[in-house]
Chain A
Amino acid sequence: MQTKGIKRQIGWLYVLPAILILLTFLIIPFLMSFSYSFTNYNILTPWAKQYVGFTNYINTFKDPVFLQSLKNIAQFVIFIMPIQVGAALGLALIVNKKRPGNTFFKISFFAPQVVSLTVVSILWMYILNPDQGLLNGILGIFHIKPQPFLTSPKQAMFAIIGVSAWQGAGYQMLIFLAGLQNIPDSLYEAAELDGANSWQRFLHITLPMLKPTSMMILTTTFISAFNLVIQPMIMTQGGPQNATMTPIYYIYRTGFTDRQLGYASAMSVIYGIIIIIFTIIQRKITNAGGDENA
């Protein structure tokens, strides 16, 4: 770092607005979730708010819906990572080659990204409608019998995974593409002279050179996957049979619809800690943002 050692207190003034807002909307809420979580705070009866110790925490572990939601989010994370990131890498490799219509392909793959999650969710609800949906209409042409999609506990989460990957892959494709274009051509030329085939070149040049980009994409996908809420909220309301209920949505529903702020806070503490642990592990592994302590 080049900053001189002279103390210049005016720096405080510059960072203050940002710090104040972060304090208000991130730090205090974070601390509040702890203090609420030990009470039976109910919106209907705020005057009856009482300290209840660890009752809420004990209840979360006995709450089948919360446990199910953790299972669901694990399923989502495990499947979305390889599918979305794999697809993004594949697409990037495709559009990185010069061929006729390349711009069209690039735009096509990226197009879903332009649509907001809300629009994506509503649109796919109509496409995935079992009886009148477009997808079953298309499958019918190939004589595949109609699928229940969002109305089946088995398929609903996979449908959401598919829709999310469809939407998200294009953006990551662009980042991969930027990474690919940073690889010097000379490396490939040298490898070609050494007689390496295209697969070997991919394995020994492309992949290692893409490592920083891949790590960054994997990290952001991983962390944002934990926040899944809009798709199930709009497409399935967490159903059928809670098969697509996610922790964030369940916390929202418990605190907002069911009015149980205390219990919802206990769940946000637990889920928050789970995410924090995973984030830290991720950081340790990928070591993203290396110079942060400088």
Chain B
Amino acid sequence: MQLTNRKVVVSKKEQSFAERIYLPAIAKGMMITASHLFKKSPTINYPEEKRPIAPVYRGQHVLKRDENGAERCTSCGMCAVACPAEAITMTSGERKKGEENLYREEKYAATYEINMLRCIFCGLCEEACPKEAIFLTDRLVDVEFERNDFIYGKDKLVEKIDKRIDVTKRQTQAVLDFKKIPGLKHNELYDPKKLNTGNKH
């Protein structure tokens, strides 16, 4: 019985003269390599040229500020809970008087760290965030020499006031609408009674 009909009997034929002098085969091979001489190299000279990436590319995170320049993050910990790689840690702080221009709400993230070596760039933190504070951007995470340098603190994550980072490509109207669906409303705390009233998904 045979399993497939791909069986081939090995033949050890005497080589023909053309095969024995190698030259036709060599010429054929050299033509193949020569044809590659005129093909375009797919190499991208990285630091000078950058590969085009999709608008929804999930790269380095950013912690957004609101329109007044105050940090949006309230250190609720939803992102840390959502994170499958457990890359996010934070500690909370309480806003004092006079810091209203720095922090949007009474509670804020005193420290906020993402371990870029643990992060798998799935984007669940962004999805979980009720305050539209964390987004993944199309920036690439830099190369570092030390492991510690991959743990990004607030100094690297929070966007600079004068250098805002555009996330409109990720925060599209469709996304915003999705986040407004009653049963899945991000801005509200978990309430079992409300879940039943809302639009079922």
> Does A associate with B in a complex?
no
Question: Which B residues fall within an 8 A CB radius of A?
Answer: none
